[in-house]
Amino acid sequence: MKYILMMTGTKADFDWYATWSKRDLQAQFAFMHSFNKELKESGVLVATEGLAFPNEAKMVRAAADGSPITDGVFPESKEFLAGYWIVDVETPEQAYQLAARVSAGPSPKDRGNQPIEVRRVMSGPPPEML
Amino acid sequence: MTPQPDSFEHLLRELTPQVLGAVIRRFRDFSSAEDAVQEALVAAAMQWPREGVPDNPRAWLIQVASRRMTDYLRSEMARRRRETEAALEMDQLAPPPGSASDSDQDDTLILLFMCCHSALTSSSAIALTLRAVGGLTTNEIAIAFLVPEPTMAQRISRAKRSIKDSGVRFSLPTSQERAQRLGAVLHVLYLIFNEGYTSSAGPNLQRVELSHEAIRLARAVHRMLPDDAEVAGLLALMLLTDARRPARTGTDGELIPLTKQDRALWDQKQISEGTALLTKALSKGSIGAYQLQAAIAAVHDEAARAEDTDWPQILALYDLLKRMSDNPMVVLNHAIAAAMVHGPAAGLELLHGLDNDGRLAGHHRLDAVRAHLLEMAGDHQAAIAHYRIAASRTTSVPERNYLMTQAARLNESAGG
């Protein structure tokens, strides 16, 4: 079963991240590197990506003629996706375990552990239907 | 005449377990032998279409794989000098690989017992079985399970390490162990079959048909153990279920439930093969869960129209199955059969018994079945609510679409 582990944050969280000390940053880079390596080697990694900071994020809607209208003014409370992992595991508990590892990853700690949203990735049709 | 690529592939897959068995017997190292055989298969897939199939393809593959093994062992020489010498000596002394023999059948069975060993998680067992016995490449398996190739490669090599660590030998299990180990093999084949059924969303020409692969492996096991009624039962179950595949989905990939399927699309050849297998298996007198599930599938398949379905017989079969297995899904299906025979109230009554079963807590199938029975009972508002709860809980996109459509249909017919 596949799960997506999503790391999100508000603009304020990203701004705070940009001020981390060199030592904190290096600890975090090293953690991410070894965590990703471990996921690969244990045969569970499906995909992982990190996203650019939300400074340039745009909200796009189609106008009446179908052309894009972009809007970049977001409420302060909006959560932006920072990055994600998709893992293929045997049980939900395994996915929660991995999420907890990321949550407890190195950080300056003055804001507590980072919450990670875990969602099931949908699959194909079930074996039998009524 | 140049054979079609399809027939190469078929031949290679058929030969895989025989070749692997022979190489393991020679070099006594499952893990490296498995890698060497994969390389030989790749070499054959490249050379044979160009140069033609060798006179003895099996011997060719064993020779190439053995050469790979020898190369591998030579490169290990510094570290493992003594072992290498022994192996090289063996290579020189070993008689040239001949044609297929009785031990090939045993080898395939031994490999299946190894790959489906209880030391492995089911996803590892599935992957390893498809590679070592099914002769699929890592890339094909990765595509089938929609994971990247390196991830699948890691999964397979970890599985091989687990087998090594478990100390299981390359030999047939003792007669005491046999029933249990065979049960594990059949379970893995059943999982492969269901995986093929559930991951068949959308056409993908590159994808190996896992259901067909499971049927092929089940056929091989049935050939080796023709008197085992449960092996025959599993093969029959696969055939009788797979026969309905062409009618299961509509043109936009939407799910079509059994009662609404165009039965003219069902594969009658598969149905009669499955039915014949099942009839023979049942006559042996040792009835198991696979035979019962196959019997239920056969009753569905026999009905020319949904309303012709012999529900009393299905109910009787679920009664037996319920006594044999502690699976809450069986209880759910039993409730549906009871509703079809005795009316929706009887089915809903049985569902009450499941509300406190922890294994089904929050499971969408309980809500979906309840919605269906409530609709049968004419309580449309409650049915709509349960269809929607089920839709919010399923992890399958086509099933969610189906359940939401059910709720919408009832809602529109009620509200007008």
CATH code of residue A13: 3.30.70.1060
Please judge whether B395 and A120 are an interchain contact, meaning their C-beta atoms are less than 8 angstroms apart: yes
**Among the listed residues A40, A54, A46, the one whose alpha carbon sits nearest the alpha carbon of residue A8:** A54
Q: In this complex, which of A47, A125, A130 lies closest to B396 when CB atoms are compared? A: A125
How close does chain B come to A30, measured CA to CA in Å?
21
Q: Is residue A125 part of a domain?
A: no
Residue A38's domain comprises 2-120
Residue of chain B whose Cα is closest to the Cα of A121 = B395
Sequence-distant (≥ 6) Cβ neighbours of residue A70 within 8 angstroms: A58, A59, A60
**Is residue A47 a part of any domain in this protein?**
yes
CB A39, CB A97: distance < 8 Å: no
Region B83-111: what's the mean pLDDT?
A: 61
For residue A9, tell me if it sits in a domain: yes
CB B32 within 8 A of CB B121: no
- A-chain CB neighbours of B150 within 8 Å are 40
pLDDT of B87 above 70: no
* Mean pLDDT score, A81-96: 95
The residue with tokens 């969303």 is B201
Q: Which of B102, B27, B30 is nearest to B66 (CA)?
A: B27
B133: Cα separation from own chain's centroid = 13
| DSSP per-residue letters across B232-253 | HHHHHHHHHHHTTHHHHB-TTS
Contact criterion met (CB < 8 Å) for A125 and B248: yes
Q: How much is the pLDDT for B383?
A: 97
Q: What is the C-alpha to C-alpha distance for residues B24 and B38, in angstroms, rounded to an integer?
A: 13
DSSP per position, B198-221 = HT--S--TTS--HHHHHHHHHHHH
Asked if the structure places residue A11 within a domain, the reply is yes
Within B28-148, where are the H helices?
30-51, 57-75, 81-93, 102-115, 122-128, 138-144
Cβ contacts of A38 on chain B, cutoff 8 Å: none
Looking at residue B226, its amino acid is P
| pLDDT above 60 for B119 | yes
Q: What is the pLDDT of residues B130-186, one digit of tens each?
A: 999 999 889 888 888 888 999 999 999 999 999 889 888 888 888 888 888 899 999
Is B122's CB within 8 Å of A90's CB? yes
pLDDT recorded at residue A2: 93
- How far is the C-alpha of B117 from the C-alpha of B124, rounded, in Å? 10
Task: Give the amino acid at B284.
Answer: K
Q: What is the pTM of this model?
A: 0.84
Round to whole Å and give the CA distance between B237 and A62. Answer: 50
Is B154 in contact with A43 (Cβ distance < 8 A)?
yes
User: Which of A42, A47, A90 is the closest to B154 by Cβ?
Assistant: A42
Average pLDDT, stretch B250-278? Answer: 92
Convert the pLDDT of each residue in B269-304 to its tens digit: 999 999 999 999 999 888 999 999 999 999 999 999
Which tokens hold the place of B65? 């794989």
In a 10 Å sphere around its CB, with 0-12 CB exposed, 13-18 middle and 19+ buried, how is residue B341 labelled?
Answer: middle
With contacts defined as CB-CB under 8 Å, which chain A residues touch B200? Answer: 124-125
Q: How far apart are CA B114 and CA B131, in angstroms?
A: 12
Residue A31 lies in a domain: yes
CA A125 to chain B, closest CA, distance in angstroms equals: 5
Residues in chain A closer than 8 A to B252 (CB atoms): none
**Farthest-apart Cα atoms in chain A, separation:** 59
Is A50 among the domain residues? yes
pLDDT above 90 as % of chain A: 77
The alpha-carbon gap from B89 to the nearest alpha carbon of chain A, in Å, equals 36
Per-residue DSSP letter, B131: I
Number of structural domains found in chain A:
1
Assess: ipTM above 0.85: no
Q: What is the pLDDT of residues B306-352, one digit of tens each?
A: 999 999 999 999 999 999 987 888 989 999 999 999 999 999 999 99
Q: What is the mean pLDDT of chain B?
A: 87
Enumerate the β-bridge partners of residue A70: A60
Query: How many Cα neighbours within 13 Å face the side chain of B286?
Result: 6
Identify whether A129 is part of a domain.
no
pLDDT at B398 over 90: no
H helix or E strand, kind and range, residue B330:
helix B328-342
- Other beta carbons less than 10 A from residue A110's beta carbon: 6
* Nearest residue of chain A to residue B197 (CA atoms): A127
Which residues, other chains included, contact B134 with Cβ-Cβ below 8 Å and sequence gap of 6+? Answer: B13, B16, B213, B216, B217
Cα separation, B311 vs B277, in Å, equals 22
Query: Which residues of B sit within 8 Å Cβ distance of A?
Result: 121-124, 145-148, 150-152, 154-156, 158, 194, 197-201, 241, 248-249, 255-259, 336, 368-369, 372, 394-400, 402
